[in-house]
Structure 1
Amino acid sequence: MTQLQTSESQGALHFAYWVPNVSGGLVVSTIEQRTHWGLDYNVRLAQAAERAGFDYALSQIRFTAGYGAEHQHESVSFSQALLHATTRLKVLAAILPGPWSPAVVAKQLATIDHISNGRIAINVVSGWFKGEFTAIGEPWLEHDERYRRSEEFIRALKGIWTQDSFTMRGDFYRFHNYTLSPKPVQQPHPEIFQGGSSRAARDMASRVSDWYFTNGNTPENLKAQIDDIRAKARENGHRVRIGVNAFVIARDTEEEAQQVLADIIKHAHVEAVHAFGDAVKQAGQASPEGQGNWATSTFEDLVQYNDGFRTNLIGTPAQIAERIIALKAVGVDLVLTGFLHFIEEVEYFGTKVLPLVRELEAAAATRQSRALEAA
């Protein structure tokens, strides 16, 4: 591990969960999922996650049906409802540049930040679903142009949230002596997250984002991404933290966990998986280097929307805790989790897995402290 990774990942790992505000759960499978996209279920889930020790919840943004997701609640208003039902959890509202303007988002989130006492954040989604953009009359930009627009979007948000008489003359957004009042509670501004695996996504994060989400992957492959993005960020005088997607199947025995995974894939909605794969691979392979999100995903990977099986948090609580610590060792700061049966599995994770993670973190910190004392 490099010194940079040690210093940037020595704090306690953060944990987030995907908010199921979109129907169909987190796997494209006909297997039973004791999860619901409605508000009542999600309020109970948010409260359970808060009790279990989760730090963040990520609401999803979808405008149209498809790929097993027939119903979608809007992300910003849904996030606000979850904030009203909790006291500590921070909720990330997913936003698509294009349908939203930065002026509207800045105003919305500043108000929600006051209402929630500083617990709103934003996840800027550059876009992967071409059909969704065309269905609502939005232009579909080329891959790197989508990220260039997102970077300008973030620069606009930061300017509005931190400056008076903000002026910007960009290719996508323009402001003339605009002053937002009141500014957000959080200083210098609400946390800004983004996703992606392509060169354009990583470069954007290394310049402007607070957090960078990547699809699920092995520690070895994640390390290459993290080393790259942090080297670029260091050159830019910027710091970015890393989150990784993971679908968690924690059971009392490894055999039980592996059987659940096998059943999910066995009952995959084949047509929906192939349709989703065609759409997202077009997005991932459209990057100049052909290595964006999903560019190399297999059918089995795509049964979970964001390659969550690849992270391999599947097994007993002890196995999963050790694998989470391995993620931290390569520079991961946050694990973004999905589950088959959300409420009961979030509670199990909080009771059985998180305490083991904290024990392993404490033991590692003790060893590091002793090593420094002996040096």
Structure 2
Amino acid sequence: MPVERQREPIKFAYWVPNVSGGLVISSIEQRTSWEIDYNRKLAQIAERSGFDYALSQIRFTAGYGADNQHEPLTFSQALLASTERLKLIVALLPGPWHPAVAAKQIATINNIYGARVAVNIVSGWFRGEFTAIGEPWLDHDERYRRSEEFIRSLRGIWTEESFTFNGDFYRFRNYSLKPKPIDPQPEIFQGGSSRAARDMASRVSDWYFTNGNTPEEIKKQVDDIQAKARENGHSVKVGVNAFAIARDTEAEAKAVLDEIIAKAIPEAVHGFAHEVKNAGKASPEGEGNWAKSSFQDLVQYNDGFRSNLIGTPQQIAERILALKEAGADLILLGFLHFQEEVEFFGREVIPLVRKLEAAQPVAVAAE
């Protein structure tokens, strides 16, 4: 007989500014700091404001305004120590990290702080970064094959008493990790929009991050991933990137966007575009996350403007609901002035989202 089911409330995450330069490639003022004291306070504000997750970035070299970069795993521990409920998603890059080391680090953090640490497996898009640190640069789909083996290794190490794995990139023989993470097990996130990225998510990841886009385009990706996941007997959730500019009026919000674009740093934007579009062209289908991104889109690293969370709190709340209807389970947010804008978002936008969710009709499904 039919049963009523209500979808879970959409979750909110923010980009941890553990990298200098903010979240836009622009000379506009950004009252945001990459230093630890600022980030501790930001994490506490985010936790009070209704955010569920914070994502620490991984960068090894300077570029596009990111002159300084704190290592994400170490940095995340400091934020966990400063909060009580917020979950930290640590970006890890296969190659520089070995899954045995990562598994042990994450298990230890999990045992210290509880089930509040997750990982985001970044397959890599910046060839120059790999070259700078002496890491081999693999072909596009090879990077995703390595990432999939990395994820399978993490899961095996965390859950099996004696883990054996014979892959092309990683091999284990009767490896036993103790202590293992306490349940629930650390969630595994990944990003990408290529065929290889989506297929990997449909097999092994808990969460799939995609760049900002319209609800119509997000739905196409979600439908594709979910169909593949069902074929694989797997379940995956979807997070969407967005840059939020919430102001009292739509005109104020659009004026901020116009100023960000007007003060964009052309050489840095074009340099970033060159790297990411080359990475996408290397995929068999000749596309990637940024294949159709314009100059304006690329002023925000992950196409955050395309999600259009720019306007009044009511407009933004309604657009978040549209993204949820398209299949998004989480919104990953960037801001111009993180501390004050995260607080404003939590006070003015999230309650409206919850009100709109409560008013949604309950889905009816066969038992």
Which category describes the TM-score, using the shorter chain as reference length? over 0.9
Residue 149 of structure 2 is matched in structure 1 by 152
Counterpart CA distance in 1 for 2:281 and 2:7 is 35
Q: Cα deviation per residue 1:166-216 (whole Å; 9 max; x = unaligned)? A: 0001000000100000000133x2000000000000000000000000000
Shift of 1:29: 0.3
2:155 aligns to what SS in structure 1? Answer: helix
The answer to whether the aligner puts 1:250 opposite 2:215 as a matched pair is: no
Shift of 1:98: 0.3
Could you tell me which of 162, 168, 173 is aligned with 1:165? 162
Shift of 1:295: 1.2
State the TM-score, normalizing by the size of structure 2.
Answer: 0.97
The answer to whether the aligner puts 1:74 opposite 2:71 as a matched pair is: yes
Counterpart CA distance in 2 for 1:316 and 1:291 is 34
The answer to whether the aligner puts 1:228 opposite 2:224 as a matched pair is: yes
Counterpart CA distance in 2 for 1:63 and 1:214 is 22
Residue 49 of structure 2 is matched in structure 1 by 52
Residue 11 of structure 2 is matched in structure 1 by 14
Residue 338 of structure 1 is matched in structure 2 by 334
Could you tell me which of 82, 92, 95 is aligned with 1:95? 92
Q: Letter of the 2:141 partner, please give it.
A: D
1:93 aligns to what SS in structure 2? Answer: strand
Counterpart CA distance in 2 for 1:328 and 1:286 is 31
State the TM-score, normalizing by the size of structure 1.
Answer: 0.95
1:11 aligns to what SS in structure 2? Answer: coil
Could you tell me which of 139, 142, 146 is aligned with 1:142? 139
Counterpart CA distance in 1 for 2:180 and 2:128 is 36
1:239 aligns to what SS in structure 2? Answer: coil
The answer to whether the aligner puts 1:198 opposite 2:182 as a matched pair is: no
Judge conservation of contact 1:196–1:213 (CA < 8 Å) in 2.
yes
The answer to whether the aligner puts 1:83 opposite 2:80 as a matched pair is: yes
Counterpart CA distance in 2 for 1:321 and 1:315 is 10
Shift of 1:290: 1.8
Alignment of 1:173-212 (within 5 A): 173-187=170-184, 189-212=185-208
User: What root-mean-square deviation, in Å, do the aligned CA atoms of Structure 1 and Structure 2 show?
Assistant: 1.3
Q: Letter of the 1:209 partner, please give it.
A: S
Residue 368 of structure 1 is matched in structure 2 by 362
Structure 1: state its 5+ residue gaps. Answer: none
Could you tell me which of 226, 235, 240 is aligned with 1:239? 235
The answer to whether the aligner puts 1:115 opposite 2:112 as a matched pair is: yes
Q: How many residues align?
A: 363
Shift of 1:135: 0.3
Counterpart CA distance in 2 for 1:194 and 1:100 is 15
Counterpart CA distance in 1 for 2:45 and 2:126 is 31
Q: Letter of the 2:118 partner, please give it.
A: A
Could you tell me which of 331, 336, 356 is aligned with 2:352? 356
The answer to whether the aligner puts 1:311 opposite 2:300 as a matched pair is: no
2:88 aligns to what SS in structure 1? Answer: strand
The answer to whether the aligner puts 1:297 opposite 2:293 as a matched pair is: yes
2:362 aligns to what SS in structure 1? Answer: helix
Could you tell me which of 278, 282, 285 is aligned with 2:281? 285
Counterpart CA distance in 1 for 2:355 and 2:79 is 30
The answer to whether the aligner puts 1:322 opposite 2:328 as a matched pair is: no
Q: Letter of the 1:163 partner, please give it.
A: E
Runs of 4+ in 1 over 3 A off after TM superposition: none
Residue 214 of structure 2 is matched in structure 1 by 218
The answer to whether the aligner puts 1:268 opposite 2:264 as a matched pair is: yes
Q: Letter of the 2:279 partner, please give it.
A: A
Counterpart CA distance in 1 for 2:314 and 2:283 is 38
Judge conservation of contact 1:251–1:316 (CA < 8 Å) in 2.
yes
Shift of 1:230: 0.2
Judge conservation of contact 1:113–1:186 (CA < 8 Å) in 2.
no
Q: Letter of the 2:33 partner, please give it.
A: H
Counterpart CA distance in 2 for 1:103 and 1:295 is 34
Structure 2: state its 5+ residue gaps. Answer: none
